[in-house]
Amino acid sequence: MARYYFDYFDSEDVPIPDTDGADLPSFHAAKNEAVKALSGLAGDIRLNGRHRVLQFTIRDDGGRELCLVSLQLEVQPL
């Protein structure tokens, strides 16, 4: 098991660093956890403008950034 940290960013809010982390069996599991969390968050947010970005930066126990998992919501009038 390795500990992964998921720093959260929402383009309409203040970034939230993860100070606790989570023990997961692999980096692949960490990526899947971030995707699952973003999917759940997307259903609860309101789009106040035309564009919003939600993302997690995944870090390892040494603080090294490993991956960025991002979800972009956009409304384009036609």
Q: Which residue has better confidence, 21 or 52?
A: 21
Give the predicted TM-score (pTM) of the model.
0.87
Instruction: State which H helix or E strand residue 42 sits in.
Output: helix 27-42
Mean pLDDT of 16-28: 97
Residue 56, CA distances (Å) to 13, 39, 76, 78 in order: 13, 12, 24, 31
Mean pLDDT of 54-66: 96
Residues 6+ apart with CB under 8 A from 77: none
State whether residue 75 is helix, strand or coil.
coil
Check residue 48 and give its pLDDT.
73
Check residue 75 and give its pLDDT.
81
Check residue 26 and give its pLDDT.
96
Q: What percent of the chain has pLDDT over 70?
A: 100
